[in-house]
Structure 1
Amino acid sequence: MTEGWDALDAELEQWAAAGLRLPLWWRDDDAVTPTDALTRLEAMATRRDLPVHLAVIPKAVEDALAQHVSQSSHLIPVVHGWAHVNHANPDKKTCEFPSTRPVDEALTDAEQGVERLKHLFGARLQPMFVPPWNRISPAMLPWLAGLGFAAISTYGPRKRTQAASGLVQINTHIDPIDWKGGRGLVPEAQILAKLVANLQARRSGQHDNAEPLGLLTHHLVHTDEVWEFCDTLLRRLLEGPAHPWRFNERIN
């Protein structure tokens, strides 16, 4: 057992002593079709009884995914942009909905995304907008509720409950993938230190503990090490103060 896990256990004991509860949610990005990796994701979600909010790429999604999700009690589809295509300038970070893109054009894509997924998933689709790469122009936010979205999800502790009128912010906070270092697992100690700091800030009131703590995964690129870490982390959190949260039970 590493020092990182020991530190997490100690923090969770502090939560238990204070009688605190931790809403926990799970978002997995870039789904388009059923795969062996999706089957593995669903099996883990079932084992931990924690639903996965599956961020589906509307332009690329296949009918087979909708059929698969319709038969699952642990997969919850949400809208992942439109095409997962970069529209940022070459010198900027990748973004499908950057500030340099005309708002009306970007909103048209967002609307196409939700309409296509409504057609495929029906009432199973939840009105959450997940911009690819967790980035979006602030100019879009006031308009998303008008397209039928009730929430937006990016990355990091939220600064406010609502990103715009009628649009609650529900972010993710734990990303185990080393995107710049070969897409393996970020060193466990690094992930756990960041998580413990987040939990300490929540316990002390510096961060908003009403926002569900979010695990962000990408099933299509997971190594076995990433899978094993996520399963261990979820087990330990759920054995402690965490309780599963799903979007249709949303809180502000």
Structure 2
Amino acid sequence: MTPDWSALDQELEAWQQAGLQLPLWWRDDDATEVTPQLQQLTETAQRLGLPVHLAIIPRDAQPELAAHMQNTTDLIPVVHGWAHKSHAPEGEKKAEFGAHRPVQDMLGEAEAGLERLKSFFGSGLRPMFVPPWNRIAPEILPWMAGLGYCALSTFTLRSRTKAAPGLVQINTHLDPIDWKGSRSLLPEAQLIAQVASQLKDRRQGRADTREPYGILTHHLVHDDRIWGFTETLIARLLAGPAMAWTYDERIS
């Protein structure tokens, strides 16, 4: 059954009639190596003209990943925690950088992650920290800029522009995967309504219009439905008021 995109199409038209532009960015998590799924992600980004900020797990990152990314401008490396290992007690939500262990231990791993990926990507690495499971203890935020990070990215609307001094917050807002159910695509009608509602809130001043609108994906677990919806959605946004946005700490 073909999904009904009319609610989103109407909202995009309202944006264009108002002369508004939507900065759009794409983050994809959990990369460590070159896989067929990563190749598909690269090709999809190239077709769309929207680069992917690839959140790479530093401890497990393989040298061939850096070689692959040197040959494309469609993948932008950022730091995804350290080992993607949860330290939360049983029964609590997973977190690698939650309030479950000493701050200095977490800062040590955050610094090690940045340095290891710098050794792979050099100046091509963007100093953005993406905590696994999108959870991070507030106690470590004031220290992140001192490690060399300039940005933090989690999920849902940001509550403020900067998570801490020197650390801009740039979140993602739509994840198409049904993590608690089928682990395939959430109902398309639900996703379309969510995007339309989020954009309406921005247009009408109920949400931060300066924050780029972020799509969050996980290429390693995508099936055909997730791939198809993601590409269709991004293409639709870019055909309307959206403009491709990429993070650059020199101008952000």
TM-score bracket relative to the smaller structure: over 0.9
Inter-partner Cα distance in structure 2 for 1:80 and 1:213: 19
Deviations 1:186-207 (A, max 9, x none): 1011111111111011001111
- SS for the counterpart of 2:202 is helix
Question: Structure 2 unaligned runs (5+)?
Answer: none
RMSD between aligned alpha carbons? 1.1
Q: CA deviation at 1:249?
A: 7.1
Distance across 2 between alignment mates of 1:38 and 1:132: 19
1:140 maps to 140
Which position in structure 1 is the counterpart of 2:228?
228
- 2:55 counterpart of 1:55: yes
Is 1:69 the counterpart of 2:54? The answer is no
Aligned to 2:129: 129
Q: Once the two structures are superposed, what CA deviation does each residue of 1:98-133 show, in whole Å capped at 9, x if it has no partner?
A: 112110001101011000000011111000000000
Q: Equivalents in 2 of 1:70, 1:200: separation in Å?
A: 38
Q: What SS does the corresponding residue of 1:247 show, helix, strand or coil?
A: coil
| Residue 183 of structure 1, CA deviation | 1.1
**Secondary structure at the residue paired with 2:216?**
strand
In structure 1, stretches of 5+ residues that fail to align are none
Give the 5 Å matches for 1:59-98: 59-98=59-98
What is the rounded CA distance, in whole Å, between the counterparts of 2:239 and 2:251 in structure 1? 22
What is aligned with 1:206?
A: 206
The structure-2 alpha-carbon separation of the partners of 1:250 and 1:174, relative to structure 1 and needing over 3 Å to count, comes to: farther
Partner Cα separation in structure 1 for residue 48 and residue 251 of structure 2: 22
Deviation at 1:71, TM superposition (A): 0.9
Letter in 2 for 1:183: R
Q: Distance in 2 between matches of 1:11 and 1:218?
A: 27
Q: Partner amino acid for 2:25? A: W
Are 2:26 and 2:51, in contact at CA under 8 Å, matched by a contact in 1? yes
CA contact (8 A) 2:77 2:124 kept: yes
Instruction: Give, in whole Å, the separation in 2 of the partners of 1:181 and 1:51.
Output: 29
Matched, 1:193 2:193: yes
SS of 1:197's partner is helix
Question: Where do 4+ consecutive residues of structure 1 move more than 2 Å?
Answer: 249-252
Distance 1:184 1:133, change over 3 A: same
1:155 equivalent in alignment to 2:166: no
Distance change >3 Å, CA 238–CA 250, structure 1 → 2: farther
Moved more, 218-227 or 177-186: 177-186
Residue 247 of structure 1 aligns with an amino acid whose one-letter code is Y
Please show how residues 26-37 of structure 1 align to structure 2 within 5 Å: 26-37=26-37
TM-score by length of 1: 0.97
Deviation at 1:250, TM superposition (A): 7.3
Three-state SS of the structure 2 residue aligned to 1:149 is coil
State the TM-score, normalized to the length of structure 2. Answer: 0.97
Kept in 2, the 8 Å contact 1:210–1:251? The answer is no
3-state SS of the aligned residue for 1:173?
coil
Does the alignment pair 1:168 with 2:168? yes
Task: Measure how far apart 1:2 and its partner are.
Answer: 3.0
Q: What is the identity percentage for the equivalent residue pairs of Structure 1 and Structure 2?
A: 57
Question: Quick one: distance in 2 between partners of 1:228 and 1:50?
Answer: 15
SS at match of 1:157: coil
Residue of structure 2 in register with 1:112 after alignment: 112
The equivalent residue for 1:2 is 3
Letter in 2 for 1:227: W
Could you report, residue by residue, the CA deviation over 1:15-38 in whole angstroms, capped at 9, with x for unpaired residues? 011000000000000000111101
